[in-house]
Amino acid sequence: MSDKKEEDEEKKKFIEGLRTYFKLKEEYEKSVKKQNKIISKLKDLSWKEKRLELSKIKHKCINCKRPVGSIFSTKIDNHERQLIALCGDRKEPCPLDIKIFLGMVYNLADDLREDEETLNEYKRSIIFDKNDLLFGYITAENAVSKFDNIKDAVAESTKKYEFTLENYLQVVDNDEKKEELRSLQIDFYRNIEHFNTLIKQFNSSQNTQFIVDAVDLYVDTMLPKMSMILSKKYAYNGVEYDEEDNTFHLVQIPFSIDDLEWDISEKGQKVASMKIGMDSFSKKKPVKNNKLQFTAAIPDIKKSDTTPPSNDSWRYR
């Protein structure tokens, strides 16, 4: 498998992993909100009593369905973000184990603007210092010292700006890509000429073989080449519907946000672990009271012995 295909497969796996992670996270959070909503709607309980009941709820793991909950978190390791999903039972966890490296992604267009702004700030600073020297607000020695410091900073920022600009132009004004596109377009124009010649030959001879050849040329050569030209020319090419005015619009974007992003992380963007389901996991006996059972606790609150819970028992959940 070529490097390009491997990269595309890894990217596809990464996108699918993100979809799976956020789908499971959304389902789990909806389940938690639904359970919490049941208690929050109880009118006979005070806010403190509701919080006590909320603390008793054992949410089900999104994978094994045991009342142990699930852990969805974002971890930052050496400036690199990771998405993590685990079973809430850390002693005897189910197979749920998702780990996705998000990398350190920067946008070339944003970086270019920041570098330009930094250089402009240095230029303004030089102008201000020059004016201060002319009007006697600073001495010549101070001016020389400031100029030397700014000179080094400008040199470093210029080097960074040129590097970012080079990478940016590789996307928006790539000579190799333009040459490939030009070559495809020339071949396509030749195909059009050949197609027109076949039609003329049919008109003059009425030989149906010319029509067959023209159709084969269009289907086997011209259509695939048109697709290649569009893919080289536009990162996105499609028709979109506008509900407001009931119209369709052709949208053609030469390069996407993804094209302008670069990952400088060591691990890159990838799925490190994607374990879901119950394979090779024997379910333990279900924990008792795995359903919402706040009704039994409510009468206890209303008995004569209504000693309020300690602050620590309901303050944190």
* For range 181-201, the mean pLDDT: 95
The residue among 237, 235, 228 whose CA lies nearest residue 180 is 228
pLDDT at 311: 41
pLDDT digits (tens, 9 = 90+) for 271-288: 999 999 887 665 554 554
Structure-block tokens of residue 119: 């250089």
| Cα distance from N-terminal residue to C-terminal residue, the chain | 51
Residue 45 carries which side chain, given as an amino acid letter?
Answer: L
- 225, 168: one domain: no
Neighbours of 45 (CB within 10 A): 19
62 falls within a domain: yes
* Phi, psi angles (nearest 5°) of residue 252: -130, 115
Does residue 116 sit in the same domain as residue 72? no
Overall number of domains in the chain:
3
Kindly state whether residue 46 falls inside one of the protein's structural domains. Answer: no
146 located within any domain = yes
Verify that 113 and 63 share a domain, yes or no.
no
Q: Are 298 and 45 in contact (CB under 8 A)?
A: yes
- 118 and 148 share a domain? yes
| 113 and 100 together in one domain | no
Residues 162 and 234 in one domain: no
Q: Which of 51-65, 66-80, 190-204 has the highest mean pLDDT?
A: 190-204
Cβ neighbours of residue 97 under 8 Å, at least 6 residues apart?
85, 86, 273, 275
Q: Given this model, what pLDDT does residue 256 score? A: 85
Distance separating alpha carbons of residues 149 and 151, to the nearest angstrom: 5
Question: Do residue 7 and residue 100 come from a single domain?
Answer: yes
Please provide residue 95's backbone torsions phi and psi, each rounded to the nearest 5 degrees: -65, -10
Residue 167 within any structural domain of the chain: yes
Instruction: Look at the chain and count its residues.
Output: 317
Residues with Cβ < 8 Å from 283, sequence gap 6 or more?
64, 66
d(CA 119, CA 157): 7
Query: Residues 149, 189: one domain?
Result: no
Domain membership of residue 218 as a residue range: 175-254
Rounded Cα–Cα distance for residues 229 and 180 (Å): 9
Residue-wise pLDDT tens digits, 223-244: 999 999 998 898 888 899 998 8
pTM over 0.75: no
| 311 domain residue, yes or no | no
Average pLDDT over residues 45-69: 88
- In the prediction, which pLDDT does 202 show? 93
Six-digit token pair at 201? Answer: 């030959």
164/182 same-domain check: no
Q: Indicate if 150 and 215 belong to the same structural domain.
A: no
| Domain membership flag for residue 52 | no
